[in-house]
Amino acid sequence: MINALNHLPHPQDDNATLATHFSDLAPPLTPRQAAVESARCLYCYDAPCVDACPSDIDIPSFIRNIQQDNVQGAAIKILSANILGGSCARVCPTEILCQQACVRNNAQECAPVLIGLLQRYAVDHAEFAEHPFQRAPSTGKRIAVVGAGPAGLACAHRLAWHGHEVVIFEAREKAGGLNEYGIAKYKLVDDFAQRELDFVLQVGGIEIRHGQVLGDNLSLGELQQQFDAVFLGLGLAASRQLGLPDEGAPGLLSATEYIRELRQADDLSTLPLAERCIVLGAGNTAIDMAVQMARLGAHDVNLVYRRGLQDMGATQHEQDIAKANQVRLLTWAQPEQVLLDDQGRVRGMRFARTHLVDGRLQTTGQTFELAADAIFKAIGQAFDGQALSDPQALQLERDGERIRVDDNLRTSLPGVYAGGDCTHLGQDLTVQAVQHGKRAAEAIHAQLTLNVEAA
């Protein structure tokens, strides 16, 4: 249970009813729908959708396979480029990636090819008698991967595929990272993150050790001594702060903390419910938090952002989801004061109206208040500096708070690589993290192979 919300009531509906509110956001295609949709693809030779895909999936090729009723071949095309292709098909913002780039995405054609749903169809319907990627002969090399999120899992799988032994060090009791703990429940249903994890591990050669926290019971220096290479897929484990008084009051917490609790709950009716809630932020996490609270039964959900709608990190698609769930989007408002009741618990928030002056955000002098039983912060994740507190880790060069890497995901320390949200490369997307893990694995493999040949 989330201690900061212990004083709140529970949803009125029972668990079975609530579960229906968290079914698939985008229902999967039927075989007939997949056949019709795949026939819409023009199979472009120089396909812009491929250029827009962070994980370099050969999109026209896998769609052609679906059209030719070769679903297994389509799945292999996808998974060879993105081993987490099933989850990425569900959570990727395809509306700003491959589908936005689709040549059919214009006024005359009306709609792009539904690439994300076709990718999901292929991966979900492929029937493999065994893991589709067989390991190369053992190299005798051992690599440490810190973090079992999308970047770490993708790196581990590719390294194991090349014949290396991999040990993943994971802080939590479950592997999966963001896919397991941070994605809206209606985007990854039916324990999909764990089923995908099981598939990844079937390649063999991967061991996961849970309860291993870098900067606590694990140090980078020790890993460098014990392994031939190290990959850091640490993610962003800390939440940014508002910097306001009473930020620790009951009823105010990070959105990621609540989402994690919701995703792990066996009975949704036991969750605390803020019938009136405020979500601070403008990204997909803010949308996820607001929509899920509405689906649990909240009657007044306000998502508040200090700039305008056009500046929101959440895509238009995500904003439309929020509106469809009766979430009110309030813009040009900046948190000014946490309002407390006589018992010191959250009762609302005062906001300052904002506007742009010569391109800079400033307050107008006007304020307004919103009543709320809880306030959820979704103003961004921060790097947990404690993770890199041992003497060796402190030598890592940074870009701000994140780890600096080159184009091959190499850090400033020999044999240490990093990828995913803990670096500044690309967007903070699941598919980008997967690509980082894959690229780092190829760079590690190339370096280890070179070392063997030189010896």
Residue 371 half-sphere exposure, CB side, CA atoms within 13 Å? 5
Class of domain 142-237+383-454: alpha beta
- How big, in percent rounded to 5, are the helix, strand and coil portions of the chain? 40, 20, 40
Q: What average pLDDT does range 232-256 have in this prediction?
A: 92
Q: Measured at the alpha carbon of residue 9, what is the angle toward residues 289 and 300, in degrees to the nearest 5?
A: 45
Q: Do the beta carbons of residue 353 and residue 343 sit within 8 Å?
A: no
Residues facing 277 on adjacent strands: 301, 374
Burial of 245 (0-12, 13-18, 19+ CB in 10 A): exposed
Of all residues in the chain, the percent with pLDDT exceeding 70 is 99
Q: Measured at the alpha carbon of residue 170, what is the angle toward residues 168 and 176, in degrees to the nearest 5?
A: 90
Residues 141 and 124: their CA atoms lie apart, in Å, by: 33
What letter represents residue 139's amino acid?
A: T
CATH superfamily of 239-381: FAD/NAD(P)-binding domain (3.50.50.60)
Residue 96, pLDDT above cutoff 90:
yes
Q: Report CA 327 to chain centroid distance, whole Å.
A: 22
pLDDT tens sequence across 298-340: 999 999 999 999 999 999 999 999 999 999 999 999 999 999 9
pLDDT tens sequence across 417-447: 999 999 987 677 899 999 999 999 999 999 9
pTM for this entry = 0.94
pLDDT tens sequence across 281-302: 999 999 999 999 999 999 999 9
pLDDT tens sequence across 154-192: 999 999 999 999 999 999 999 999 999 999 999 999 999
Cite the residue boundaries of each domain of the chain with CATH code 3.50.50.60: 142-237+383-454, 239-381
Least confident segment among 18-27, 78-87, 207-216, 231-240: 231-240
What letter represents residue 186's amino acid?
A: Y
Q: According to the model, what pLDDT value does residue 453 have?
A: 62
Please name which of 150, 166, 60, 44 lies closest in space to residue 103, comparing C-alpha atoms: 44
Residues 409 and 385: their CA atoms lie apart, in Å, by: 20
Backbone angles phi, psi at 12, to 5 degrees: -75, -30
Please name which of 313, 182, 310 lies closest in space to residue 235, comparing C-alpha atoms: 182
CATH 3.40.50.12280 fits domain 31-125: no
Please name which of 379, 191, 370, 187 lies closest in space to residue 274, comparing C-alpha atoms: 370
Q: Do the beta carbons of residue 36 and residue 286 sit within 8 Å?
A: no
Q: According to the model, what pLDDT value does residue 239 have?
A: 83
Task: Give the pLDDT band of residue 22 (cuts 50, 70, 90).
Answer: very high
